[in-house]
Amino acid sequence: GAVVSQHPSWVICKSGTSVKIECRSLDFQATTMFWYRQFPKQSLMLMATSNEGSKATYEQGVEKDKFLINHASLTLSTLTVTSAHPEDSSFYICSARPGGSTNEQYFGPGTRLTVT
Amino acid sequence: QQQVKQSPQSLIVQKGGISIINCAYENTAFDYFPWYQQFPGKGPALLIAIRPDVSEKKEGRFTISFNKSAKQFSLHIMDSQPGDSATYFCAARRRNAGNMLTFGGGTRLMVKP
């Protein structure tokens, strides 16, 4: 149980285009989803927190107009990187937290974005 | 400001040895401390977690030791195996912060056969 998927697993796009990444909780309802960014050989940096039906809360330094997050249902959140640039190339990882008193977040497998 | 400091950055251990990774924090509002294992190109997977009211937790070959007064916690991997070679992250959750995790910098573990 507690499986989180991401799609696509990797994507290459041209500079200036937009890319959408999906995060799905497959066997539970996620009241909260988190989006992280991870550069090579570095730690995970939280980008934003989204609750179903609400606007996402972005961490300091993360441009909300560039990284659009939608959490329209209890099983799906999307991250859209708008007008992507090479410096946006990174590993994007989502996690999902079930409702209730659990402490845990369950992580997706990540999406490798390369902007050329 | 790095709220969770992790050391060492890299670690090489012989098969069968004990791997020890340390983390330290400053924010006393942290109330939950998980450890994650990450293989290249994959998302992190929860290994084991502890609350500050417990000094030690063991699950199989993995043990967390927690020192509340020193604000330190560590992961011990007993009988380390080549398959344990991965990057390990400690994390801390801040109370009343919506389950938001702060991660340590990571430790790249290599277990030599």
Cβ contact, residue pair A110, B41, below 8 Å: yes
Least Cα distance to B78 among B19, B23, B12 occurs for B19
pLDDT digits (tens, 9 = 90+) for B48-60: 999 989 999 999 9
pLDDT at B1 over 70: no
One digit per residue, the tens of pLDDT, for chain A of length 116 reads: 689 999 999 999 999 999 999 999 999 999 899 999 999 989 999 999 998 888 899 999 999 999 999 988 999 999 999 999 999 999 999 999 887 767 788 999 999 999 99
Cβ contact, residue pair B89, A43, below 8 Å: yes
DSSP string, A47-77: EEEEETTSPPEEPTT--TTTEEEEEEETTEE
Between CA B75 and CA B51 the distance in angstroms is: 14
User: By a Cβ cutoff of 8 Å, what residues of chain B touch chain A?
Assistant: 32, 34, 36, 41-46, 49, 89, 93, 98-106, 108
pLDDT digits (tens, 9 = 90+) for B7-52: 999 999 999 999 999 999 998 889 899 999 999 999 999 999 999 8
Chain B residues whose CB is inside 8 A of the A110 CB are 41-43
Candidates A9, A25, A43: best to mutate against B (most CBs of B within 10 A) is: A43
Residue A19 C-beta-side C-alpha neighbours within 13 Å? 25
Q: Looking at chain A, how many residues does it have?
A: 116
